[in-house]
Every structure is written in C-alpha cells, then in structure tokens.
Amino acid sequence: MHVDWDLLKSHAVTAMKQAYAPYSKFPVGVAALVDDGRIISGCNVENASYGLTLCAECGLVSSLINSGGGRLVAFTCVDISENFLMPCGRCRQLLQEHGGSNLQLMTDTGIKPLSELLPWAFGPEEIDKRLD
C-alpha cells in the first residue's frame, strides 16, 4: 500500500497543535494510515494527576476503533519542533495490538517495522495459541 509520509506528518503536526500538555509542556501528535486508506490522528492529553496522562497514541487508537476499526499500516509521531519522536514503551504495545509487527514507523533513521522497536512482542496471537 502506498504511504504518503508527508501527508501523514502534516496530520500529526495538526494533531500536535491540539495537545493538552500544560504539565510537561511537551505536546505530541501522531497520525496513522489505516488499511482502508483513511488517516487517523491523536494528541496527548495530560491530567493534574500526572500518572493519568493519555499519550497521543491512546487518542489515535480510540479514534481508530471509534471510526470503524481496521489495521494500522503506517505511523508517525512528532514533537513540538516537528521532529520525529519514538513512541514510548507502553504505546509500542498499543501499536502491536492494532498494527502488528509489520506496521511501518517513520524514525530519524528511516522507515522501520514495529518488530525492530518491539522485538519478541507479546500480542493477541500468543493468547490465541495458548487458549486453543
């Protein structure tokens, strides 16, 4: 599937500008291409109880499911300077669930599959295998 990375990045930047990050002052925006061609996005939403912060990826996954589901094909994450940012550990797991090991991510050193960022991943297949 063709990925327009510039378009994805522009969606991530637009989302980043909507972030609610008064505590960290570190706005984050993400965008992803879904396997049916739609583009979804998300921004971080913080909370006075710091630990309850929702990463931008949480918003993205919520948007994915609430707009019809599907599989994530390509993903990008940006900071306030519009530089690429690597997703945090917890969010790599969210991406594993909805994109799997072949999900493509833009990084400073080029496009990488999620399997490089989260090797030996635990995912839904592991549960399926063991519950048979």
**Segments of the chain assigned E as strands:** 29-34, 39-43, 72-78, 104-107, 110-113
91 binds ligand THU (CB under 6 A): yes
Q: Nearer to ligand THU by C-beta: 3 or 21?
A: 21
C-alpha dihedral, 94 to 95 to 101 to 105, nearest 10°:
-150
DSSP code string of 73-108: EEEEEE-TTS-B-PPPHHHHHHHHHHH-TT-EEEET
Q: Nearer to ligand THU by C-beta: 87 or 99?
A: 87
Q: Which of residues 24-63 bind ligand THU (CB under 6 A)?
A: 24, 26, 28, 44, 46, 53, 55-57
Taking the complex as a whole, the smallest distance from the CB of residue 58 to ligand THU amounts, in Å, to 8
87 binds ligand THU (CB under 6 A): yes
88 binds ligand THU (CB under 6 A): yes
Active site residues: 57
